[in-house]
């Protein structure tokens, strides 16, 4: 898998994530002879090859720059082309923790979509694990299939991901190569309660199997919870991840005296401007009158504008100069604020557990 191996330098054919600006990332395939264009100018791929990952790359016109980052599932979530609403990293982290997804876990994912979750699952379960992903939408399936092939994720090319085109709500999860047991199940479907009855064939008979339903509406959660109860799942709980990112910085402490000095400086600057304008108007009037009378003013008759009063370098320069954050010449305080522009889709997460003892009871009742 492309996202599970790391290296130091960019090579021809690499998939990279181009950092263009804050909250603006773009996937980029490096191909010698190609050129990437954006608002900062042209970025020839030939100049990217051989550069270290994370290094700043300037445009040909030297009018801007980008950074080339090595792709990870977390970066891919922020840079991928959206085909559907996606699962973001804050939700992914709690899902992995509650489903106990680790190296070697076998996972069913229903609803491939934009494959944000798929990349995170594939990286986490590793070569000894297996991801069985299902997508019912034909065009999204074809796009995801090509994407998985490009990222070396498919099991047919020594990856760990098996992608199937199927409506699991109607046809279930039966597919060639799918073992009887899996350890975790993730359902990102419009109607997960229709797929829940099909899961009983694939739960782990020697241990616990955990499921998560990812739904944006409370009505979906209620129907899914009822279906889980009917199918014998226990420990049903719902979570909602409220994610906030705090940005820490230094804020300059402004004293009352500083504010007074600032107001005085503004008033002085305004008064000086008014006086200079009056002086200029007076000179223009004198020249106009002399021109009408056909007179020429000698140097002694021409009055020069008065020199502006001297200003205190300490007060004016401090007010007008650009101050770098943390400048020791000034007093600072540490502050923090919430980033209001976050990519985070709030949905409800419904979790449940199926125990092996429940399978024995169900098999006895059927006999």
Q: Could you tell me which residues are annotated as the binding site for S-adenosyl-L-methionine? A: 135, 167, 188
Angle at Cα 86 formed by Cα 147 and Cα 354, nearest 5°? Answer: 100
Whole-number Cα distances in Å, 240 to 15, 186, 216, 307: 33, 16, 10, 68
Question: What gap in Å lies between CA 94 and CA 99, rounded to an integer?
Answer: 8
Question: What gap in Å lies between CA 367 and CA 364, rounded to an integer?
Answer: 5
**Strand extents, DSSP E, the chain:** 15-21, 24-29, 35-38, 41-44, 56-58, 65-69, 106-110, 130-135, 161-165, 184-187, 209-215, 234-240, 246-252, 332-338, 348-354
Binding-site residues, in ranges, read 135, 167, 188
Pairing of strands 35-38, 41-44: antiparallel
* Count of residues making up the chain: 367
Whole-number Cα distances in Å, 190 to 62, 85, 183, 185, 195: 48, 12, 23, 16, 10
Token pair listed for 204: 């782990």
Report which secondary-structure segment, H or E, holds 231. Answer: none
């Amino acid at each position: 898998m492309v996202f599970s191996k790391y290296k130091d330098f960019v090579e021809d054919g690499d998939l990279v994530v181009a950092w263009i600006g804050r909250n603006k990332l773009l996937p980029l395939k490096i191909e010698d002879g190609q050129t990437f264009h954006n608002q900062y100018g042209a970025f020839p791929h030939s100049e990217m090859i051989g550069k270290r990952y994370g290094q700043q790359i300037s445009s040909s016109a030297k009018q801007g720059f980008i950074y080339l980052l090595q792709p990870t599932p977390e970066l891919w979530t922020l840079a991928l082309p959206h085909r559907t609403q996606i699962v973001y990293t804050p939700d992914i982290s709690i899902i992995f923790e509650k489903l106990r997804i680790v190296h070697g876990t076998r996972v069913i994912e229903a609803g491939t979509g934009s494959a944000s979750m798929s990349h995170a699952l594939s990286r986490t379960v590793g070569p000894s694990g297996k991801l069985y992903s299902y997508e019912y939408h034909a065009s999204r399936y074809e796009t995801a299939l090509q994407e998985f092939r490009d990222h070396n994720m498919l099991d047919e090319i020594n990856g760990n991901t098996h992608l199937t085109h199927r409506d699991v709500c109607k046809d279930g999860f039966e597919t060639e190569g799918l073992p009887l047991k899996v350890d975790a199940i993730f359902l990102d479907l419009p109607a997960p309660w229709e797929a829940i009855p099909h899961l009983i064939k694939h739960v782990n008979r020697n241990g616990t199997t955990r499921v998560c339903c990812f739904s944006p509406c409370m009505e979906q959660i209620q129907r899914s919870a009822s279906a889980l109860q009917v199918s014998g799942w226990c420990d049903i709980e719902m979570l909602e991840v409220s994610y906030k990112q705090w940005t820490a910085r230094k804020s300059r402490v402004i004293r009352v005296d500083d504010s007074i000095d600032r107001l005085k400086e503004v008033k002085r600057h305004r008064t000086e401007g008014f006086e200079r304008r009056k002086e200029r108007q007076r000179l223009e009037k004198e020249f106009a009158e002399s021109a009408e009378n056909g007179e020429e003013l000698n140097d002694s008759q021409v009055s020069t504008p008065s020199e502006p009063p001297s200003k205190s370098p300490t007060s004016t320069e401090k007010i007008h100069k650009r101050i770098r954050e943390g400048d020791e010449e000034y007093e600072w305080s540490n502050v923090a604020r919430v980033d209001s522009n976050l990519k985070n889709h709030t949905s409800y997460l419904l979790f449940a557990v199926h125990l092996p003892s429940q399978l024995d009871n169900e098999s006895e009742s059927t006999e």
